[in-house]
Amino acid sequence: MEMTKEEFKKELQQRLKEKYAMDINDASSQELYNVLGSVVKAYYSDAWSNTWKDYLEDGQKQAYYFSIEFLPGKMLKSNLLNMGILETVEAGLADLGVSLDELAQVEQDMALGNGGLGRLASCFMDSIASCGLPGNGNGIRYDYGLFKQRFVDGYQVELPDEWLRNGNTWEVRKESKAVDVLFGGNVYLAEDTDGQLRPVYEGARRLRAVPYDTAVLGYQNHLVNTLRLWSVEIPESEEDHYRSIEDRRAFEDLTAVLYPDDSNERGRQTRLWQEYFFVSAGVQSIIRYYLRLNKPLDVLNEYVAIHINDTHPALCIPEMMRILMDEHGMSWEKAFNVTVKVMSYTNHTIMAEALEKWPVALMKENLPRMYQIIEELDRRFVNELTICYPENPELIQRTRIIQNEQVHMAHLAIICSHSTNGVAKLHSDLLKEVVLHDFYQLFPERFNNKTNGIAQRRWLQLANPKLSKVLDQTIGTTWRKTPGDLKLLQNYVEDQTVLDQLAEAKKSNKQRLASYIEETTGITVSPEAIFDVQIKRLHAYKRQLLNLLHILKLYFDLKDDPKKVQESRLFIFGAKAAPSYTYAKSIIKAINEVANLINNDPDINGRIKVVFLENYNVHLAELIIPAADVSEQISLASKEASGTSNMKLMLNGAITLATLDGANVEIRDAVGDDNVVIFGMTEREVYQYYERQDYVAKDYYDQSPVLQRILNAFVDGTIPNIYFEGREIFDSLLKHNDEYFVLRDFDAYVKAQEKIDGLYRDQHHWQQMSLMNIANAGRFSADDTMMRYAEEIWHIEPVEQYSKKKG
């Protein structure tokens, strides 16, 4: 994949002529972007088809990452970077009077995910390819991605995300690879001509799943994997079944929208259909491909690993069983044996409401064959346990797949796979000791930890070219391929020149963000202020409210004593709330009203500012993260499975202000106590409260005049325009006893914030801390995480290693 600047320019102009009969000067940004996309695509197309062919010819074992969400963001620059032609193209465009950055703006963020789970899947895709691993993604091509967030009078308003309006340059529709998926009807088993029992389907709806493939380019290694996203269509043969347009619509809507609830999933038929749709299509296409290898199906696990990303794709299990038994005549025992070896599962949350359960009636009606197989899986599991643990019927009741007329998807995933992992040490320990303890006792060897990671290419090389340059000049460029080499930076912790350069890079990123803030919100902010950032979904357990209470404290302190010594602070929020999550939306409204109050108060005179940026997404994250000084990771200990913005912020030199939750624990271990600010209850203390049931939030209020003043502000008109929301928040803390212990951790948080203030005042020391964070962020590289999945779960090897062995 090599190309000189002149070749590139020629190619671009040529294609522009072919496609639009235009010269550069006449083309719009959209037209130029489209043409640039096709140039880029043409450059990797050989490598893409070769990768497929090589895998097939070598009988290479491949992993398939099944995820109901992928959140890649914009792809133009990351493709250029990975192809090694980012600079060439940038320079070539500049010669032609075009700015690459401006063109890149044209691309719509591909936002087929809600937050951490989907973004992680995309970092993993990037890393799998960049590590030379044979692995592909499998998901849904939603017509509408995550809603666009607007604020109207401080309220969140959701607008549709029409990301496909101008087409999608990167995808390739693969009509010939379409498969059919059946829904509903009746299924019974009848003897076939060969004497085998086979299912007979009556009255089922047949839908066509058409794949759209997107290339996933490895970082400068000529490897191109595939992200396959499925879209629904009505097969021609079925046209007669659809009597009205509404009837058609109902089915075509199957892949129309991404469910915007990141955790709280209410039993909705469409969602169940979505889950089965992409799982069935994906597993069918894997088997079809596998059959081309001419290998028997009972060694499928030597060639295929399927990863179940959270429980949404757990139907992979019964679907694989169905195909092996119904379509290939395999016995139950053999099919089960292979399926367990092929499947592995990751749990991403312990929040009870996110542990998926489907009503038996719904499953039976919509996916009758799936239900039959699940019922049999459950029956056999119960039988086996009854033999092994006759004295413990409660254990069986607690762990079986079908309970109280509900199918427990996590149970299905654990019982029928060979690996269950959590996403940070603390989280995996909690799974073993508390949440999934029964299963851990049954299958201890299946449980393992794989701490999340991030793709340093997007979150440092692309998002922060300024810092990247300083790194290149200081420690050389090997960190770009081997993020662990960032460690070398530690040698410069006493080097004032390097510290100044880092500070300079940060400042310029802060200026860039300040301009964006001014342009989009009209609020003027000073790049001299501490940029204090909390960016993540809006959820009570993440405690954006704790942040807000502290802001109010600072506000009142300054009102009382305008001479109070304190660094200027800019509090930046970015967060979407699930449209049905009223409490989270009330918090958004409250933050926006507090922002208005403080930003416009002449007494404060800009010493504190609060900015809630609309429509937080991957692109905005790329702008905010490089500019952050403080990384707010303040969830109630035990609730955040891992977090990944914590890793991105650290990598960009922000100081983490955190509870000991999720991967924050490992961040502290990586940088040492001196380079992070930790506060609040530990997970153990939280569990002690649960055991003793003796938390009384109101005591904290009664005993603290500071808290009284702050909380009263929500209901006495001090914060304007939040009559209902203020009351709701006030009541959540006092009447409903503060589920996430905000008041319990408040004092500790205030002290931690005071510590931050003091540390920042000593700029030299702050720069040293920042350097230490960058230097130790290599530990959270998704490349390493993926290598561990590859070795310990999927048993796949990098292609190079594989070919070397063969050679």
What's the CA gap between 146 and 148, in Å, rounded? 7
Of residues 33 and 259, the one with the C-beta less far from ligand NTF = 259
Q: How many chain residues are in contact with ligand NTF, going by CB under 6 A?
A: 18
17 is an active site residue: no
CA distances from 242 to 181, 207, 239, 250 (A): 16, 12, 6, 10
The neighbour count for residue 201, using CB atoms within 10 Å, is 14
Q: Which of residues 221-280 bind ligand NTF (CB under 6 A)?
A: 262-263
639 closest CA partner among 305, 352, 257: 352
Tokens representing 19?
């496609």
542 is catalytic: yes
Q: At closest approach, how far in Å is the CB of 662 from ligand NTF?
A: 5
* Partners of residue 224 on adjacent β-strands: 217
Reply yes or no on whether 804 is catalytic.
no
Shortest approach of ligand NTF to residue 614 CB, angstroms? 21
Least CB distance to ligand NTF at residue 23 (A): 47
Phi-psi region of 97 (alpha: psi -120 to 50; beta: other; left: phi over 0): left
**Catalytic-residue membership of 418:** no
Which of 262, 319 has the CB closer to ligand NTF? 262
* Inter-residue long-range contacts of 289-296, CB under 8 Å, 24+ positions, other chains counted: 289/56, 292/56, 293/56, 293/59, 295/59
The neighbour count for residue 16, using CB atoms within 10 Å, is 22
Structural contact between residues 647 and 536, judged by C-beta atoms closer than 8 angstroms: no
| CB 722, min distance to ligand NTF, A | 27
Whether the Cβ atoms of residue 139 and residue 96 lie closer than 8 Å to each other: no
- Measured CA to CA, the distance from residue 53 to residue 652 in angstroms comes to 39
Task: Write down the catalytic residue from 644, 656, 659, 785.
Answer: 644
Residue 242 burial class via C-beta count within 10 angstroms: exposed 0-12, middle 13-18, buried 19 and up? middle
3-class DSSP state of 571: strand
Q: 644 an active-site residue?
A: yes
Location of structure tokens 């169905």: 322
> Which amino acid appears at position 768 of this protein?
Q
Nearest to 483 by CA among 650, 673, 654, 622: 650
The nearest distance, CB 541 to ligand NTF, in angstroms, is 9
Which one, 311 or 776, has the nearer CB to ligand NTF? 311
As a whole number of Å, the end-to-end CA separation of the chain is: 24
Nearest distance in Å: CB 261, ligand NTF: 9
Please say which residue, 642 or 776, places its beta carbon nearer to ligand NTF.
Answer: 642
Binding residue (CB under 6 A) for ligand NTF from 115, 134, 139, 313: 115
Please answer whether residues 794 and 305 qualify as being in contact, where contact means their C-beta atoms are separated by less than 8 angstroms.
yes
Q: Which of 542, 550, 569, 609 is catalytic?
A: 542
Convert residues 763-802 into a mask of x (bound to ligand NTF by CB under 6 A) and - (unbound).
----------------------------------------
Give me the amino acid identity at 771. Answer: L
Q: 620 with 613: CB under 8 angstroms? A: yes
Give the residue, chosen from 11, 161, 629, 640, that forms a contact with ligand NTF under the rule CB under 6 A: 640
Residues in contact with ligand NTF, shown as a per-residue x/- string from 394 to 433 under the rule CB under 6 A: -----------------------------x----------
Q: Which of 72, 643, 680, 798 binds ligand NTF (CB under 6 A)?
A: 643
CA–CA separation, 656 and 668 (whole Å) = 9
Which of 537, 550, 619, 744 is the catalytic position?
537
- Active-site residue 648, yes or no? yes
402-403/406-408 β-pairing: antiparallel
Return the number of the residue (264 or 496) whose C-beta is nearest ligand NTF: 264
Q: Which stretch binds ligand NTF (CB under 6 A): 16-24, 44-52, 112-120, 706-714?
A: 112-120
660 and 682 Cβ atoms separated by less than 8 Å? yes
Where does this chain touch ligand NTF (CB under 6 A) — which range of 50-58, 116-124, 525-533, 624-632?
A: 116-124
d(CA 368, CA 363): 7
Q: Which is nearer to ligand NTF, 231 or 644 (CB)?
A: 644
Q: How far apart are CA 286 and CA 796, in angstroms?
A: 16
Interactions with ligand NTF, residue window 648-707 (CB under 6 A): 662
Cβ nearer to ligand NTF, comparing 120 with 499: 120
Figure out which of the listed residues 78, 225, 399, 452 binds ligand NTF, where binding follows CB under 6 A: 452
Which residue's beta carbon is nearest to the bound ligand NTF?
116
Residue closer to ligand NTF by CB (options 143, 356) is: 356
Structure tokens belonging to residue 409: 């998807």
Q: Does 354 bind ligand NTF (CB under 6 A)?
A: yes
Pairing mode of beta strands 224-233, 205-217: antiparallel
Residue 642 beta carbon to ligand NTF: minimum distance, rounded to whole angstroms: 4
Least spacing, CB of residue 628 vs ligand NTF, in Å: 18
Task: Identify the active-site residue in 9, 432, 506, 536.
Answer: 536
Contacts (CB under 6 A) with ligand NTF, residues 294-353? 310, 348-349
354 vs 597, which CB is nearer to ligand NTF?
A: 354
Q: Among the options 348, 369, 427, 446, which is catalytic?
A: 348
Beta-strand (E) ranges in 79-238?
110-112, 135-140, 148-152, 155-159, 171-173, 179-183, 186-191, 197-202, 205-217, 224-233
Compare residues 259 and 749 and give the one whose CB is closer to ligand NTF. 259
Choose one: 280-288, 584-592, 640-648, 751-759; the region binding ligand NTF (CB under 6 A): 640-648
Nearest distance in Å: CB 312, ligand NTF:
8
Q: Which residues bind ligand NTF (CB under 6 A)?
A: 115-117, 120, 262-263, 310, 348-349, 354, 423, 452, 640-644, 662
Catalytic residue list: 348, 536-537, 542, 644, 648
